Structure 1
Amino acid sequence: MSQQVIIGEDGVEQFSLKHYTEKAYLDYSMYVILDRALPNIADGLKPVQRRIIYAMSELGLKAGAKYKKSARTVGDVIGKFHPHGDSAAYEAMVLMAQPFSYRYPLIDGQGNWGSQDDPKSFAAMRYTESKLHGFADVLLSELGQGTVDWQPNFDGTMDEPKVLPSRAPSVLLNGVTGIAVGMATDIPPHNVREVIGATIHMLENPKATVTELMEFVQGPDYPTEAEIITAPADIQKMYETGKGSMRMRAIWQKEGPDVVITALPHQVSGSKILEQIAAQMQAKKLPMVADLRDESDHENPTRLVIVPRSNRVDVEPMMNHLFASTDLERTYRINMNMIGIDGRPQVKPLNRILSEWLEFRIDTTTRRLQFRLDKVLERLHKLDGLLIAFLNIDEVIHIIRTEDEPKKVLMARFELSEVQADYILDTKLRQLARLEEMKIRAEQEELNKERENLETTLGSPRRLKTLVKKELQAVVDEYGDDRRSPIVSRAEARAFSEEELMTTEPVTVVLSEKGWIRSGKGHELDPAALSYKSGDNLHLAARGKSNQSVVILDSSGRSYTVAAHSLPSARGQGEPLTGRINPPSGVRFEGLLMGKADDLYLLASDAGYGFIVKYEDLQSKNKAGKAALTLPKGGRVLQPSPVGEAEGANVVAVSNEGRMLLFPIADLPVMARGKGNKIIGIPSARLQAREEFMVGVQVIRAGQSLRVHAGKRYLNMKFNELDHYAGERGRRGNKLPRGFQKVDRIEVLD
């Protein structure tokens, strides 16, 4: 970023505010990314974690040491290496000590370090004590062997390691979360046995694919026994891209009538689960649950008991509802973003992570071997000089006693180097006893063997890889354990719908002519006998169940849905339907339906058109409804007719001029919305003039009768008497007997 810098008369540099803020924010963001929030692929640690581990090792707090107050460690960390708040350093320390947070804890804590139920309930650092866990040795054991680079601390008074020489791919083992500027990281924990198995395979097959590596790494392994229910294909995609998500589900079992939850997803609190379930019980969304108990203790860290209301409760759908509506099932974001060996942050796939870490490990091992080789050569060089002095001990002593500068004389007389001469002069006389010659030669022999072995290993990439492999296997032998989080296949959880949670009692929904709606219990209710407001009367009624919805059809062909259980009681006079839906102004309500999702209805207009529709296609969550029936010009909506079982059913249609037509219902299409097909022929000119139209259409079956009303007169016809009116769909139909040329309506009788 180019900056326009102006040097003022007083010699002060002047920046534009834009350039200054851009640079300041960029510097800050790079600091947060590289030196605070993201882990390094080498040791899997953020800087604060690395500094805590290093400071504890410098204090001598190894796994075999005595515990020391945590405040001592935090003081060293913030005083020597990490100039930030003590609470931030202590919280990072606590996290590494919690066995329910870290798959392989790095710190061994004594005292109150929080609980799974409340991870932040840990005691203050002046009360707790700590030392390094045995697993921290994987990170620290090679630190003083020339394996990593060092850098000055914040005030330049001492050095600290840039990374720790980890003997295992720790970045995958414990996982890490962090939020930087413009990026974040969410790396899940894994099983050490699986990860090292994949690492060894990668070492032997550098071009191994994610598919091959997944023969070893099944998936993440959290420090909980809850199930991972993410599909293997999704896990593979996550490892291939470095991004994805994991779903975990609690473990439960039946103990008699009760349901007992024994393992919760990672970082889920049992008390929060009970709160979520109790809230649903209070909201009457869990009528099948009678009681909750928390029986967790030291022997059973997680034991939540759900008591069903009765033995007849099916607990499988109940638990599925709880998985969908509480933290008993939880999704974790995966974003394997880390600082690579090139010092740059990047989201990496599994094979890239392991190959980069192996590059670091091979380099670390090479540096360790070279460091040791240098030490061996230095020691051999000193022993060569010491042996010369021993073989000429009298002359050496004489030179030391008589010469002013014995060092120079020794170097000239015996062709010694400065290092050898200094070593001879620093040697105590008692080390030059007769027995020492054998010790010197034995040590030389042993060191020469080690030198040859080191030089051979350093000169052979194959032997170097074998050594790395053996050391990786040693980590598995010492710290390897079985997987804790099983990976299983489970059906997707589904919460109960509002209808499923309602009691299913029979109800009758009543709609008045002026649009007032109400609901009464039972199907024996007589809608005509109810009281209505002055000038109002019964218009439509429908029978169904309290957990069903009610579909209303208006005169414009739109359909609306209201919940039956939410309607006011039939003891009163109801409430305006327009308070629940938003129909166009001036429309009338022409249909009232209740049924199941797959129930069929005959929807028609008096223009002689219609179709079969499923009940679910008429339902709408929108208060403005949805278009269901398209009306031809001059046409009006007819009351929908239930179809029931379509097989063997027929449609009978009658016009106001006394023409009737019968045809199989299979001739009409099943549609979600539209005008439909022609049922009975009505000339459009006569329809628009309202001279002729279809007054009724019904579904009829063999064994039923048809009643045709014309004024006060009516005509009953058995099904087998309708053959005269049978014809093709869309025809004009045949005339009814004299006296029924002006039909009002038709009805089907059982």
Structure 2
Amino acid sequence: MATPFEHDSERLPLNTFAEKAYLDYAMYVILDRALPHVGDGLKPVQRRIVYAMSELGLSAASKPKKAARTVGDVIGKFHPHGDSACYEAMVIMAQPFTYRYPLVDGQGNWGTADDPKSFAAMRYTESRLTAYAATLLSELGQGTVDWQPNFDGTLDEPVTLPARLPNVLLNGGTGIAVGMATDIPPHNIREVAAATTHLLEHPDADVDALIAHMPAPDFPTGAEIITPAAEIRNLYATGNGVIRLRATYTVEAGEVVIDALPYQTSGARVLEQIAAQMASKKLPMVSDLRDESDHENPTRLVIVPRSNRVDIDALMAHLFATTGLEKNVRVNLNVIGLDGAPRVKNLRDLLSEWLTYRTTTVTRRLEHRLDAVTDRLHILEGLLVAYLNIDEVIHIIRTEDEPKPVMMERFSITDVQADAILNLRLRHLMKLEEFKIRGEQDELEAERQWLEATLGSKEKLNRLIADEIAADAEQYGDERRSRLVERGQARALSEADLLPSEPITVVLSREGWIRAAKGHDVDAPGLNFRSGDDYLAHAPGRTNDTLIVLDSTGRSYSLAAHKLPSARGQGEPLTGSLSPADGARFVGVALGDETLRCVLASTAGNGFATTLGELASRQKSGKATITPGRGAVALAPTLVAAADAEVCVVTSAGQLLCLAIEELPVLAKGKGNKLIALKGDESVVAVQAIAAEATLLLYSGKRHMALKSGERDPYRGPRASRGRKLPRGYTQVQALAVAAGKPAS
């Protein structure tokens, strides 16, 4: 037997019901909460706040009222949601650092740029509409928009507001719906008005033509837009992209003063980020920070460099890359169109659709006015009949029980005209009133002709729209705040760059133990070494230079020079930080700027020139640089300190060849070219790059010999030549060095 309610219910599969319920919710969030309408650029809650304030008489010229009064009207009459969410939406429209052209004029604490949510409770603040809000409301009562019942059907509210300017671009907005979001940046009134007018006059204009008038967004907090023009063009052509903003600064008495921050960036947060780097000793070139922001200077952050030798540009580039002083603002021009559907639109489509909305609005306004003018002329025509026959009209009114139909028949007037005559006051029956009627008739007739001509001509209608846009832009417009600047990408300083540059000498032992001594006046061979170990090589440089270690297989490695253990001890084994191949041994070190040239060679007599930057490797296993060849090993790298350097090569047979550095190939890696001709099982034992005027030292056992520039002439020759044999007693050279230095290998 059927239950009483069985025929009144609907049975659905759970998945069908869940899908429908979720889709209904999603559409509600998209259309009624999160996304703005292309017509007025407002979300429903914003529209209801502005309308409710206008109904309360809170114009720019009126006395402000408590924000709680407005919120109460909004949630009680139009928007049955939480009061805190409604108030927060109202606060956003009042913040000059959030809205380019605020709609609400707030008095009291409405938040700060450092903390936008620090606003006072609505029972403490007061508000009214701004003058700019008139561009949304001034035509509301002129038949321009559709109306709909409120949530309980007791009142009517506008579906959209009759915006006189493209507010959707001027103030922008953000919102997260279900499966979609919107991020519309604010723009400058004058630029948007110029682009809109251009599109109105040239309907075939493309995005490039519009960008000529409206080159980029314009943010209320200023700062610089450093996004390349090509990226901005692509953003407006697709409706999606990113705008990169960078803070602006000046240098006053050696101090860096930041006077504008990127959109929605907290100055306090930026100072926290910089202070954190200072506390962790990652910013040694900064000695102090100050926040001098006040009412007169909303943004004034002061960074005090440690000395006048600090590179301000490099410091700021580091801060741009590591703090909120540079920020990417996402752009997604997703709005609800005139068809009621959300869609991402490019700039041309967005302005074109708004112009369609504006054209419809102006047309409805003119038609509404034309109807009113026509009705008034009709009434004036009837009143004029009454004045011309005033005695007879008075007689009919005094003698007839129903004067209205009698007058309609006698004077051939309409019901409306008869009512107007009967509603005349006695004081309006003066002779002068006839002249007023004729004067008003003439004025209204001229207005009717203008209205009909404008409505009948697309060209005249467009001209009217363009003139109104220009007038509003002139009244409410201002200068651009966000400058367009071409800037390079900010680069964070490396750990080595941030370190103080101090002189050090890196010392490597034969067993691969490494350490660093302060200064350059270091007796590296005379240091204390572990039992069974001995001095191999040393390299003078600075703590922030690039340290390169080379092994016998020709692989190069990088280490942070400032992290090396002190030379007061015996150092640490390189194998603890690096992973050389089995059987490989470390043969030398080089320390200097990454642009510094050096020469790599092998015992097989091959070599090439390169830079320390090419040898750097972040891998523990290093990178292959020079290929020694079968049976050969790599030799210690030798730095090229002079432009006129020459390379001295000595063999196991005591042959010495000095050749010009220009004869060596410049490679990043490889085998290189033959440096000296070898015979039999002969091999190269040492290579040294030396300035042409410097003195070369040759070490053979406990003996050493110095060859001045002129004394090396007999040994100079072309690359791959045999060179010349050294004097007796120096045929077993173990190392070469430059005078005033110790053995290099």
Question: What are the ranges of 5 or more consecutive residues in structure 1 without an aligned counterpart?
Answer: 1-7
Output the amino acid matched with 2:623: K
| Percent identity (aligned) | 59
**1:702·1:720 contact (CA, 8 Å) conserved in 2?**
no
Specify the alignment match of 1:670 in structure 2.
Answer: 666
Deviation track 1:178-204 (CA, whole Å, cap 9, x = no partner) reads 233333332222222232233333333
Of 549, 560, 577, which residue of structure 1 is paired with 2:557? 560
Q: Distance in 2 between matches of 1:254 and 1:632?
A: 57
Q: CA shift at 1:638, angstroms?
A: 1.5
Indicate the SS of the match to 2:356: helix
Q: Distance in 1 between matches of 2:624 and 2:279?
A: 38
Specify the alignment match of 2:149 in structure 1.
Answer: 152
Which deviates further from its counterpart, 68-77 or 639-648?
A: 639-648
Specify the alignment match of 1:85 in structure 2.
Answer: 82
Specify the alignment match of 2:719 in structure 1.
Answer: 729
Indicate the SS of the match to 1:469: helix
Q: Distance in 2 between matches of 1:431 and 1:250?
A: 68
Q: Distance in 1 between matches of 2:692 and 2:559?
A: 35
Q: Does 1:679 align with 2:675?
A: yes
Which deviates further from its counterpart, 182-191 or 611-620?
A: 182-191
Q: Does 1:629 align with 2:618?
A: no
**2:646·2:658 contact (CA, 8 Å) conserved in 1?**
no
Q: Distance in 1 between matches of 2:508 and 2:738?
A: 24
Specify the alignment match of 1:375 in structure 2.
Answer: 372
Specify the alignment match of 1:699 in structure 2.
Answer: 689
Q: Distance in 1 between matches of 2:372 and 2:53?
A: 27
**1:651·1:665 contact (CA, 8 Å) conserved in 2?**
no
Indicate the SS of the match to 2:480: coil
Deviation track 1:589-630 (CA, whole Å, cap 9, x = no partner) reads 112111122222221221222211211111112233211122
Q: Distance in 2 between matches of 1:133 and 1:254?
A: 37
Change (3 A) 1:257 1:163: same
Aligned length: 735
Which deviates further from its counterpart, 709-718 or 488-497?
A: 709-718
Output the amino acid matched with 1:498: E
Change (3 A) 1:84 1:337: same
Specify the alignment match of 1:527 in structure 2.
Answer: 524
Q: CA shift at 1:405, angstroms?
A: 7.4
Change (3 A) 1:423 1:307: same
Indicate the SS of the match to 1:590: strand
Q: Does 1:126 align with 2:123?
A: yes
Specify the alignment match of 2:290 in structure 1.
Answer: 293
**1:652·1:700 contact (CA, 8 Å) conserved in 2?**
no
Of 284, 302, 307, which residue of structure 1 is paired with 2:304? 307
Which deviates further from its counterpart, 592-601 or 20-29?
A: 20-29
Specify the alignment match of 2:646 in structure 1.
Answer: 649
Deviation track 1:440-474 (CA, whole Å, cap 9, x = no partner) reads 44444433332222112211222222222332232
Deviation track 1:208-247 (CA, whole Å, cap 9, x = no partner) reads 3444444443433222343434444544444444344333
**1:646·1:666 contact (CA, 8 Å) conserved in 2?**
no
Of 504, 511, 515, which residue of structure 2 is paired with 1:518? 515
Q: Does 1:348 align with 2:345?
A: yes
Indicate the SS of the match to 2:127: strand
Specify the alignment match of 1:4 in structure 2.
Answer: none
Change (3 A) 1:408 1:624: farther
Alignment of 1:12-161 (within 5 A): 13-161=10-158
Specify the alignment match of 2:329 in structure 1.
Answer: 332
Q: Distance in 1 between matches of 2:26 and 2:578?
A: 52
Alignment of 1:280-679 (within 5 A): 280-387=277-384, 415-420=412-417, 439-490=436-487, 492-647=489-644, 649-654=646-651, 656-679=652-675
TM-score, normalised relative to structure 1: 0.88
Q: Distance in 2 between matches of 1:303 and 1:698?
A: 56
Q: CA shift at 1:164, angstroms?
A: 0.8
Change (3 A) 1:558 1:10: farther
Change (3 A) 1:402 1:253: same
**1:552·1:593 contact (CA, 8 Å) conserved in 2?**
yes
Output the amino acid matched with 1:577: L
Q: CA shift at 1:566, angstroms?
A: 1.2
Change (3 A) 1:21 1:236: same
Question: What are the ranges of 5 or more consecutive residues in structure 2 without an aligned counterpart?
Answer: 740-745
Indicate the SS of the match to 2:196: helix
Specify the alignment match of 1:3 in structure 2.
Answer: none
Deviation track 1:70-109 (CA, whole Å, cap 9, x = no partner) reads 1121122222222322111111101111122222111111
Q: Distance in 1 between matches of 2:602 and 2:193?
A: 73
Which deviates further from its counterpart, 409-418 or 292-301?
A: 409-418
Change (3 A) 1:396 1:97: same
Which deviates further from its counterpart, 584-593 or 305-314?
A: 305-314
TM-score, normalised relative to structure 2: 0.89
Q: CA shift at 1:643, angstroms?
A: 2.8
Q: CA shift at 1:726, angstroms?
A: 5.5
Q: Distance in 2 between matches of 1:579 and 1:60?
A: 78
Deviation track 1:530-554 (CA, whole Å, cap 9, x = no partner) reads 3333443333322111221321112
Which deviates further from its counterpart, 32-41 or 226-235?
A: 226-235
Q: Distance in 2 between matches of 1:56 and 1:715?
A: 97
Indicate the SS of the match to 2:472: helix
**2:58·2:128 contact (CA, 8 Å) conserved in 1?**
yes
CA RMSD of aligned residues (A): 3.3
Change (3 A) 1:226 1:658: closer
Q: CA shift at 1:715, angstroms?
A: 6.8
Change (3 A) 1:471 1:649: same
